[in-house]
Structure formats: structure tokens, C-alpha cells
Structure 1
Amino acid sequence: MSRELKLRIISAIVLAAVILTATWYGGMMFRLFAGVLSLLIYYEWTSITKLSDTNPTGYAWGWFAIAVMSGNTIFGEPSLDLPLLSGFTLTAALFPVLRGKNWWLVGGMIYAGLSGISLAAIRGEEPTGFVAMVFVFAIVWATDILAYFVGRAIGGPKLAPSISPGKTWSGAIGGTVSGVIAGGAVAAVYHGRIGIVVLALSLALSIFSQIGDLFESFIKRRFKVKDSSHLIPGHGGFMDRVDGLVFACFTVFLIAVVHAAITGDVPGSGGGILPGF
């Protein structure tokens, strides 16, 4: 086994242990994880897009905004999450509208801010939030792992050769099937049954986790960057590791927002927001 592979395995085990421990305990520990992850993602996004050079004022504003949003995620009131994200993002939009700057600042604030907000909202404060978070993890990790191995074993037509040349349609389909199975397995253990809503949700999260992976690949290829950073030994950066996870969480959160608009329930105000958990 090569030194690099050993380093990757050790880093993956440590990272998984930290995430699962924070998820198990929930509360302040998980909110701290979500808030810090939001800051790390903004750091990597701005490093990739070179925002400090192209838009230094916006770059500083973004740090202030993400710091405030992360602080609210950790210590504040969940019902303020969306108003804060909306207000800071709309203000950031003034830079490209009035000053002719690019839109990478706005994109980074949404991506980083919504990452922490959606993770914290799914976990919530109740035990059911732990199961909901494990449900999302199982789908994303099963999709990612099986997509890699199925793609290598079967090969075939490329999924998006201009964005990520290594990904194939066979891998994407294999990953999606395994993601649905993993989500159904978690639901079966927790509920004792598997409903059509769970399977449909598992399918959606698996697909969007792969879209998240492709999205991050697009950003890195656009700026000719191999890794989002070198913060994780042997793995690159945090965006490289959580790209699929955060898109899956975005999907859950947006479903919850639509549900809230219909029922009046505020996402993140209680114990988890995933339907059926």
C-alpha cells in the first residue's frame, strides 16, 4: 500500500469519525461542525475563484456575512437563517449589478451559507434528526462509492466528459441504484417498512448528490484547479469531500421550505426537517 493511499485512508477515517460523532451528539457539537464547515467552504470557494484579487471589497463583505451566518447557525435562532442568507446575498448582488463585478461572490455566499444552514436544519435538536442525517449520509456515501466502482468495472459512455472525464453513465446509474437501496435500508431499520416517499426522496438525493459532484468539478475546471485546497491530507479540500453531501442537503432543505410555505412550519425550528423522520 502506497504512502499516499495510507494517508487518504487515515484522513477519511478521522473525518468520518468527527462527522458521525458530531451527528450522534447533535446540539451545539453538530451546529459547531455545520458553522465551521460553512466557513471552510467559503475559504476554499474564494481561493478557487480568486475573489480576493478580483473583488476585494466583496470578498471582505462575504467573510463578514458568512461569519455572521455561521455564528447564528451555532449560537442563534434557526428562524433567522433564511432572512440572513437572503439579506446578505441580495446585498452582495449589488457588486455585480452596480460595479460590474462577477457573480462568484454571490454564488460562494449561497453555496457556503446554505451548506451550514441545511446541515443544521436536517439534524435539528431531536433524536429523529440523527436518523434523518444518517439517511442522507447513507445515500450520498453509497452513491459516491458505488458510482466509482461500478464506473471502473463497467465503463462505457462518459457522463459529462467536458466537466469530469472519469465519470460514466454506468457509474451514475450504479450509484443511483445503490443510493436508493441505502436510503431504503435506513428507513426499513428505523420504520420497519419502506414507503414510496422514502424511495422517491432517496432517488432525488442520489441524483442531486451527483449533480453536486459535477458542479464542483465544473468550478475547478473553470479555474484550472485540481483540488479545492490542501486542508485534508491526501484528499484535497473540504469541498472535494462534501460536494455531493451539501447538494443533497440543499435538496432536503428546499423541499422543507416548499413544505413550510404550504403548512406554515419553519425549517430548522424543531427536530429535523426530513419528511418521514
Structure 2
Amino acid sequence: MSELLVRTATGVVMAVVALFAAFQGGYALAVLAAAAATAVFYEWTRLAKGWGAAWYIGGFAYALLAALSLLWVRERAEDGRSLLLWIFIIVWATDIGAYVSGRSIGGPKLAPAISPGKTWAGFYGGVAAATLFGGAWVLTTGLYWLVLLLAPLFSVASQGGDLFESWMKRRAGVKDSGRLLPGHGGVFDRLDGLLPVAILTALAVIAGMA
């Protein structure tokens, strides 16, 4: 089986599991969030081995806060299910938009010293896709209108999370954070963009902006 097929199949399975947990909420989402946070922290500690205790503490807090944020959004927001799905749409649309526009347009590199494959075309494509699909979801579900304005900002945050993890991997001298997900590397590799968006969305809910 080709690498693209393996990557696609794994991605579909992950999306189905995430959507099932989002619709179910409660115990299903809590178990998935806890498992994902545990895997992220484990891979973080492997990347940051020898960097000092502050990195371990920071990684634990980062993974835990993101997991709690997902649960907070789902259970505490006025329309938690729709808002949680909006988080997924923003992250997934950003990834796909960045990949498609980056590969098809190319051009100047975004951060060649950190992630040589990323381009400015990919960056803007990711923001555009997240704004378009995230906005469509807001209008379809009737989420608070301010969420429309958050889509491009959170797309930037998602790409920032991706770049941060790429920097960690470059410093650690590894290609992937782990090998758990065929065709994708580790769990941290797949959730690097979701972590900051989950946290920021929870903060937006607390601030009354979502």
C-alpha cells in the first residue's frame, strides 16, 4: 500500500473517532482527550529529553490544558457540540488548505530554518480555507457571530503550534514525534495545531466571545 493511501486511511479513522467522541461527549470524549493528552506528553518528553525539568512541566501543562479545554468547550459552551466541531474544522481546513496551496503554488519559504517544506502560499491558503469553512459552519449552525472573526486568527495559531513542534523536532534531531500513527508519525505530530486552538477557544468561551 502506498504511503499516501496509508496516510489517508489513518486520517479517515482518526477523523471518524474524533467526530464520534465529539457527538457523544461525556465519557467518550473524556477518554479520547485523556488518551491523546497522555500520548502527546509522552512524545513531548522524548523530544525534550535532557532539556531540563521546565520542559517536562511545560509539556504536561500544555497537554493537560488542551484536553481540559476540549471538555470545557463541549460541556460548558452554549452550543458545545457545534463549537467543538468548529475547532476540528479550523484545524483540519488549515492543514488541508496549507498542504494544497503550498504544493500547488510553492514560492517563498515560511520558516526554512524550522520547517523547510512550509511556504507563505501554504500559510495564506490555510488561513483562507479555515476562514471559509469555519465561517460556513458558523452561519450554518448559528454560533455566536464573533466566532467568524476568530477563524483566521485561530488558523494562524494552529500553524504556530505546527511550527513550534517542528522546532522541537529539529532541536531533538528527529523527523517525527513518534510512530504510533501509520503515515503520520506520532500523536503530537497530528495534534500540534489542535492544542493551541483548543486552549484559545476555551478562553474565548470564558471571555464570552464564543
Rg larger in structure: 1
> 1:201 aligned to 2:200?
no
Distance 2:36 2:53 in 1: 24
Unaligned runs of 5+ in 1: 56-100, 260-273
Of 192, 196, 205, the residue aligned with 1:247 is 196
Question: Alpha-carbon deviation of 1:198?
Answer: 2.2
Look up the equivalent residue of 2:160 and give its one-letter code. I
Matches within 5 A, 1:1-277: 2-50=1-49, 54=50, 101-124=52-75, 128-191=79-142, 195=145, 197-257=146-206, 259=207, 275-276=209-210
Q: Secondary structure at the match of 2:177?
A: coil
Superposition CA RMSD, Å: 2.0
Cα contact 2:73–2:205 (8 A) shared by 1: no
Q: Which moved more, 1:13-22 or 1:106-115?
A: 106-115
Q: Would you say the 8 A contact 2:100–2:122 is kept in 1? A: yes
Scaled by the length of structure 2, the TM-score of the pair is: 0.92
TM-score (norm. length: structure 1): 0.71
Aligned 8 A contact 1:184 1:194 in 2: no
Q: 1:118 touches 1:249 (CA, 8 Å); kept in 2? A: yes
2:90 and 2:185 map into 1 onto residues whose CA distance is 22
More displaced 10-residue stretch of structure 1: 160-169 or 120-129: 120-129
Q: Evaluate the alpha carbon distance shift between residue 102 and residue 127 of structure 1 in structure 2; reply closer, same or farther with a 3 A threshold.
A: closer
Aligned length: 210
Unaligned segments of structure 2, at least 5 residues: none
Q: What fraction of aligned residue pairs are identical, expressed as a percent?
A: 43
